[in-house]
A and B are shown apart, each in its own frame.
Chain A
Amino acid sequence: GDSVTQMEGPVTLSEEAFLTINCTYTATGYPSLFWYVQYPGEGLQLLLKATKADDKGSNKGFEATYRKETTSFHLEKGSVQVSDSAVYFCALSVRGGSQGNLIFGKGTKLSVKP
């Protein structure tokens, strides 16, 4: 079935380091892809999305490109800040039935040290 696989964390980086969080997916059809971020004690927030192959989603310095040939949607940021410390979830949309569903990866915890 449809699934999302994220790199396991936790990931610990120093401030201003380059970030990559890998995400690959398995899906039938043509899903949309998302990254959500969860700050401590809060709910998830949509960070960025891409709805078709080769689309690049971007927000707050984060980017991810929908790669159909490698079934990937890796999250990148050129220079992380302490405030980026959070759990990041990759997700894909599944179409079917009356509404469909979002399938989430297990999440990757990022800690950024000053």
Chain B
Amino acid sequence: NAGVTQTPKFRILKIGQSMTLQCAQDMNHNYMYWYRQDPGMGLKLIYYSVGAGITDKGEVPNGYNVSRSTTEDFPLRLELAAPSQTSVYFCASSYRGLDYGYTFGSGTRLTVV
């Protein structure tokens, strides 16, 4: 039972490069989320999805894109990386939304230099 798997765990990008953060869950959860965690701050929602083919913006979507072609996968795309995107990124999933709690992945630590 793997839960939520994120890859890579660490990545250093140069300004202007692009990359995709991968997230996969094997719990058949419909709801999936991407958060970023900045030092000393709480988590901010970037994008979320309530099912395959359905995505929506969260609080801080600028500079990111997502897709949800399957129930299992929810990749996050960074285009034209900027230093402000240096952060730890967490993917999470939930069976039926808020009151059922979220299962988080172990995170991707991204540094943009």
Contact = CB atoms under 8 A, between A and B. Distances in A.
Interface of A: 4, 32, 34, 41-46, 49, 51, 89, 91, 93, 95, 97-107
Interface string B82-113: 00000000101000011101111111000000
Interface residues of B, number: 25
16 contacts: A43-B104, A43-B107, A44-B104, A49-B99, A89-B42, A91-B42, A93-B98, A99-B31, A99-B56, A101-B45, A101-B48, A101-B58, A102-B102, A104-B43, A106-B40, A107-B41
A103 B31 CA distance: 16
A98 B56 contact: yes
Contacts of A102: 43, 45, 98, 102
A4 B98 CA distance: 16
A104 B92 CA distance: 14
Given A43-B106, A93-B99, A104-B43, 20 more contacts: A32-B99, A34-B101, A41-B106, A43-B4, A43-B92, A43-B104, A43-B107, A44-B92, A44-B104, A46-B102, A46-B103, A51-B99, A95-B98, A97-B56, A98-B56, A101-B59, A102-B43, A104-B42, A106-B42, A107-B42
